[in-house]
Structures are given as C-alpha cells and as structure tokens.
Amino acid sequence: MRRSQESQTEYLDEEQDSSEEENDSQSQREEDRDQIYYSGSVTPEGGRHKIHCLTIIGQVEGHYILPPQNKTTKYEHVIPQLVAIEQDSSIKGLLIILNTVGGDVEAGLAIAELVSGMKTPTVSLVLGGGHSIGVPLAVSAQYSFIAPTATMTVHPVRMNGVLLGVPQTLSYFDKMQERITSFVCQNSRIPSERFKELMMESGELVMDIGTVLDGEMAVKEGLIDSLGGLNEAVEKLYELIEAQPDKEELEDLPPDAGKGPRKAKGEGKKPGPKRTRIQEEPAPEKRSPGRPRKKRVAAALLPHPMPIPLPPQDRVGGGEEPKPKRRPGRPRKEG
C-alpha cells in the first residue's frame, strides 16, 4: 500500500511539473507575440547566446505623427528598448534588421548614435532597402550586412513644407548634411569626398539627385562591411559576443580592476639585516635658550664721548641770550 501511495504521489508531482512547464512556455509565447505586435522586436531563446532582434521598418517617425496608413517605426519606442538592452546582463547581443525608406533626420540620428555608443555587440542587416536616414542606421552597428538584392539610396537632406527663403535656411541644410556625412564616414570605410560625390550625382535618379547602391556596390564603396543574410548576421553576432568578456563578469569586477594590482606596503624592497635598538641613557634636560647676558665692563675703560656743541638756538636754560645785532647806520664823522 505504501509503495502504491508513493508511486501515485510521484506520478502526480510529474504531472504537476509538466503542467507548470506548459503554462510557462505558453505564457512566454504570449509575451513574445505581444512584444512583436507592440514594439516590432523579439528576444528569442534557445541559441548559443540570448540576443535581441530589433526591426526598423517603414518610415522613421519623428516629432510629428504620420498618417495611419503608413508603416512607421516610432523612435520613442526604440530608444527605451536600446537602453534596456544595454542594461540587461542576460541579453548578450543586438541584431538590427532594416527595411526602411528613411524618415525624420533627427530621430534617425538619435537612434543611430545610441546604437553606435553601445557596449553590447551589435550587427545590422539591410533587407529590401535602407534608404535616406537608413544609411546611418545601417552603419551604426559594429558590423553590417546587406542582402545582394537590397538597395540603399544616398541623397542630400530634403525638407517639405513652408520654408523661409533666406540664407540661414541654406546654412542650416548644410550643417545638417555635414552631421550625417561625418557620422556615416566615421562608422564605415567610405571617404567623405566619395560619399559627397554619391549624394550629388545628377544622372542616377529621375526627379532627384543622389545614387542608388545595390548590395555589391554598397560593399565595394565601403559603406557596408559584407554581403550576407540572416545566418551570416547571427553567426557574426555570436562571434562578437564570444570575443568580449561577459556583461555579468564586468559587473562583478571592482571599479579599480583595470588599474592594475596595488602593491602592499614594503613590497619590492630588498630584505636587509634586522637592526636592534640600543637602549641609551636619557640625555639631561636642556633649558630653553634665553637672551644672552650682557658683559659688565668697568666705567673707566669705556671711552668718553666728545661733547657735541649745540647751536645757539638749541641751548636750553642757564645760558646767556645772545646780544641783538644793531642795525648798521651811518658812519660817524671824525673831529
């Protein structure tokens, strides 16, 4: 009876564990679906390392809401995800998949700057197209891939709406274009002069200036690192993850770990013979030095100073007053 009871309890425990695992997996699938639906991203598990997949599709939406029929990527949704990925020690890498027509310049640059400043390994993959502001987003990762059939459009900054026809507007456009050019050239292998030539090409596009680059041309120009697909991008991301120390190990290290070991007191000195202290008799107490005493000298030996005559007006008391001088008159006649 006891054995049957024990086997029955074990069977019930196994059923309970399996039901809990099924509930956990079902809840995990529901969370993944919600994550994909609301943010267009997913954190798959089961590979060699846990990575996060972020998609930038459609048009990058900035400070103004686009019409509801447009496919958009909202930068206020992407920026918190990047911060969470950088702070989450369980996520080892970030895979960015791009298929965008461009969008808001400042919003795209904000996302690109965050990606380029992450310590987490990042890999980007351009599928379909990475046009306009999608170029800085593609090169912001540590390593970039592009599909052979994908294209990238390089063109100058454009703005629609009411503009003021003043020289300051042209200066603003020039400064904004310089920001994009410097960021792209710093995060890729293309020279700035060549990038400007591609932007100002007039015989490529029908109603605009610029250049359309396919996958092979983008790699040849140095804009993208290499051709590849999803498999190559994931394998490269795993390679970058395994080449750097783990996030958790970096968090466990003390703050002065990179400064080198500190030397203990006395370390590095040559050992010498021990000195023994000899007990000496206490020295007599010394009095504090005072003023030196004056030597007494006999008065007869002292030299007598010579009297200094005072002028008549400085004599005081006892002396006769000098006779007043008479006024000289006429001389007296003799006889």
Catalytic residue among 41, 124, 140, 155: 155
155 labelled catalytic:
yes
Rounded to whole angstroms, the Cα distance separating 107 from 66 reads: 14
Catalytic residue among 41, 52, 131, 132: 132
Rounded to whole angstroms, the Cα distance separating 260 from 258 reads: 6
Single out the residue of 81, 95, 5 nearest to residue 39, CA to CA: 81
Alpha helices in 88-166 (DSSP H): 105-116, 134-139
Single out the residue of 248, 259, 106, 86 nearest to residue 180, CA to CA: 106
158: which 2 tokens?
């454009």
**CB-based burial label for 156 (10 Å; 0-12, 13-18, 19+):** middle
121 neighbors 93 (Cβ within 8 angstroms): yes
304 labelled catalytic:
no
Per the document, the length of the chain is 335
- The catalytic residues are 132, 155
